[in-house]
Amino acid sequence: MPTKPAALAVGAFLLTAIAADAREPLSAIDWLNAAPPVANIPQTLLTEPPVAQTANGPAITVTPLQRLLPPVGLVAQNRTGLPITLWQSSPPERLAELIRDVPVSGLPAMQSLLMTLLLTEARPPFDDDDQVLLARLDRLREAGATDPVQALVQEAGPTGNAQRFSRWFDATLLNGDEDRSCAALTADPYLMSDYRARIFCAARRGDWPTAALMLETAHALDLISKSELALLDRFLNPDIYEGMPPLPLPNSPTPLEFRLFEAIGEPMPTAPLPRAFASADLRDIAGWKAQLEAAERLTRSRAMNPNQLLGLFTARQPAASGGVWDRVDAVQRLDTALTAGSAEAVRKTLPGLWSAAQQAGLRLAMAELFAPRLATVPLTGQAARIAWELRMLSPEYEQAAATPPDHAQKTRFVAGLAQGQPDPQLASSDLERAIARGFAPDSELPAAQQLLLDQGRLGEAILVTMKSFSHGADGNLEAAALSLAAFRRMGLEDTARRAALQLALLGRGS
């Protein structure tokens, strides 16, 4: 047994070993115990001040994630060249105001651009509660484009809310497709509180007892006026009122009233009514003259393709003379001359067509219809001049610029304009000089449009420029120059050229 001094010696040795272990841990790998090398870092790299000034954490900006609404439109963005984010960053109320109010009357290039904006596939703005969609629908209806109105609402969802359904219902009435909207209203009566529409739809589906009951209920509750009651009563009970004098026509009829008067055998003329009603005359139940006049009216607003107008113009021989019949005759004569390939016949008939088109405001439509065919006919004199102007007003203006009919100063200026390089030295009026400034190489994007583009508000910038161009066409030449420059800087070169050509050749008109 060890003695006490020996035990104390062993204890002291163990304590020394434990203390050494605590100071220097053992390792199986020698280099783990080696001190790290000291890097020779140049002092110049350490002159940047410290990023953090305090121990507090940095401020965090919180942006709520907004749901991207699905795009709505009838024409794909790869066809229009406009981005799907066209409207997205603009305030909805501002866009709706511009869409409804931008003036384009008598400016075909602006009418075409507006149609493109209204129909292109694009997402609604953030926080939009249908303001932009409803504005698009209202502007299309104002132009008379009821078919696109119906199609656009159907794509967005016509039963999504009462505002959409109301516009869809009106469009189907004017297009003769009311059975579809009536079926939706029957399934969801809450979409429209108008008893007249529900009575009409009940009768359309053959449920006459329900229609009569609703009429009596609406009458008892005083929900419809006396004039509305008389109209609906004649609609439901035509035999009772046979031989009675016609009802007085309302000053501002709704599409439903328009169709009800038609149903009781008292159709209303569409000429004094808003342009949207003209589409009702394109149905087969309308006479040829009514169809022709409606087609001309819709073509002037760019709501109808000129080829549809040509189809109606050449459908049969004119029934009389004067008015629309003279235009039908002029179109048919030129069409026959071009088909026969007779330059002499074209020379004789072209001035008559030009005069008739000018009186009806259809020169742009005639240009799009006949310019390609006129390019192959050798002409001289007045006919050559008219043919060249028609081609300059058509989409093939750039090719026509290479073959001017003469070397007059005006001709050379317009030819240069068609190529995007109008010569200021050839400008012979203040308007032409303003146009030349708009196409000058050093022209810049106006500050207002630049600010909108910097904020991603392209659609709004285009609408603002269209409004400015309208002021330019009315005589504000500085606005004309700035708006042409803006169109070009925004990538709308074709729009700028066609708008300037139309202004130089026709003024504010078509």
Please give the average per-residue pLDDT across 429-453, as a whole number. Answer: 95
Domain boundary at 406, 434, 458, which? 406
Closest of 271, 314, 322, 323 to residue 294, by C-alpha: 271
In a shared domain, residues 383 and 330: yes
Give me the phi and psi of 506, to 5 degrees please.
-120, -20
Tokens 């994007």, located at residue: 445
The predicted model gives 490-503 an average pLDDT of: 97
pLDDT band at 308 (very low <50, low <70, confident <90, very high): very high
Domain of 323, in residue numbers:
304-406
d(CA 483, CA 449): 10
Instruction: Kindly tell me if the per-residue pLDDT of 402 is higher than 80.
Output: yes
Q: Which residues pair with 374 in a beta bridge?
A: none
Q: Which residue has the higher pLDDT, 18 or 149?
A: 149
For the chain, the residue count is 510
Note whether residue 349 is domain-resident.
yes
Judge contact between 105 and 112, C-beta under 8 A.
Answer: no
486 within some domain: no
Q: Using alpha carbons, select from 171, 84, 165 the residue that is nearest to residue 130.
A: 165
Give the pLDDT score at 320.
87
Average pLDDT (25-33) is 46
pLDDT exceeds 60 at position 69: yes
pLDDT of residue 63: 41
Instruction: Note the pLDDT of residue 43.
Output: 40
Q: 393 and 344 share a domain?
A: yes
What pLDDT does residue 49 have?
45
The pLDDT value recorded for residue 67 is 60
Is the pLDDT at 62 greater than 90? The verdict is no
Provide the pLDDT for residue 319.
Answer: 83
Is there a contact between 119 and 148 (Cβ–Cβ < 8 Å)?
Answer: yes
Average pLDDT for 418-422: 96
First to last CA, the chain: 128
Q: Tokens 């504010």 sit at which residue?
A: 508
Q: Residues of the chain with pLDDT > 90: what percent? A: 81
On whether residue 369 sits in a domain, the answer given is yes
The three-state secondary structure class of 122 is strand
Whether residue 320 is found in the same domain as residue 375: yes
DSSP bridge pairs for 75: 120
Alpha helices, DSSP H, located in 237-342: 255-263, 288-300, 306-313, 324-340
Beta bridge partners of 72: 122
Helices (H), 102-225: 108-119, 131-143, 146-156, 162-175, 178-187, 195-204, 208-220
One domain, residues 348 and 399:
yes
Higher pLDDT, 138 or 25: 138
* 162, two tokens: 């009462």
pLDDT in tens, 269-305: 999 999 999 999 999 888 999 999 999 999 999 999 9
CB 449 within 8 A of CB 400: no
Buried b (16+ CB within 10 A) or exposed e, 73-104: beeebeebebbebbbbebebebbbebbeebeb
Q: What angle do CA 71, 279, 336 make, to 5 degrees?
A: 110
**pLDDT attached to residue 128:** 87
Q: Which of 369, 386, 406 is the last residue of a domain?
A: 406
- Residue 314 domain-assigned (yes or no): yes
**Average pLDDT in the 370-378 region?**
94
Give the mean model confidence (pLDDT) for residues 148-167.
Answer: 96
Determine contact, residues 142/276, Cβ cutoff 8 Å.
yes
Distances (CA, A) of 6 to 10, 15, 20: 6, 15, 22
Region 440-445 average pLDDT: 93
Selected residue with higher pLDDT from 256 and 52: 256
Using DSSP, state whether 47 is helix, strand or coil.
coil
Based on the fold, state whether residues 379 and 309 are members of the same structural domain: yes
Last residue of a domain, one of 371, 386, 406: 406
Give the pLDDT of residue 228: 94
* Joined tokens for residue 179: 């059975």
In this structure, the answer to whether residues 248 and 338 fall within a common structural domain is no
Q: What tens digit of pLDDT does each residue of 314-340 get?
A: 999 998 888 999 999 999 999 999 999
pLDDT at 127: 83
Q: What is the per-residue pLDDT for 129?
A: 87
Domain count, the chain: 2
d(CA 159, CA 476): 45
Alpha-carbon span 335 to 329, nearest angstrom:
10
User: Region 133-156: what's the mean pLDDT?
Assistant: 97
* pLDDT at position 178: 95
With a cut of 70, say whether residue 18 has pLDDT above it: no
Q: In Å, what is the CA distance from 23 to each residue of 19, 26, 36, 140?
A: 6, 10, 18, 87
The 8 Å CB, 24+ separation contacts for 375-381 are: 375/399, 375/400, 377/338, 377/341, 377/343, 377/346, 378/343, 379/343, 379/346, 379/347, 379/350, 380/347, 381/347
In the chain, pLDDT over 70 holds for what percent of residues? 86
The span from the CA of 418 to the CA of 416, in Å, is: 5
Alpha carbons 275 and 174: distance in angstroms, whole number = 11
CA 104 to the chain's CA centroid: 12
Tens digits of residue pLDDT in 232-275: 999 999 989 888 899 999 999 999 999 999 999 999 999 999 99
309 and 397 in one domain? Answer: yes
Say yes or no: 313 and 397 in one domain.
yes
Structural domain includes residue 66: no
Asked if the model's pLDDT at residue 309 lies above 80, the reply is: yes
- The answer, yes or no, to whether residue 23 has pLDDT greater than 60, is no
Q: Is residue 28 part of a domain?
A: no
pTM of the shown model: 0.84
Task: Identify whether 501 is part of a domain.
Answer: no
pLDDT for residue 54? 57
The predicted structure's pLDDT at residue 58: 57
State the pLDDT at residue 56.
61
Clarify whether residues 310 and 223 are in a common domain.
Answer: no
Average of per-residue pLDDT across 490-505: 97
Confidence tier at 55 by pLDDT (50, 70, 90): low
162 located within any domain: no
Mean pLDDT of 15-19: 44
Question: Which of the pair, 50 or 401, is modelled with greater confidence?
Answer: 401
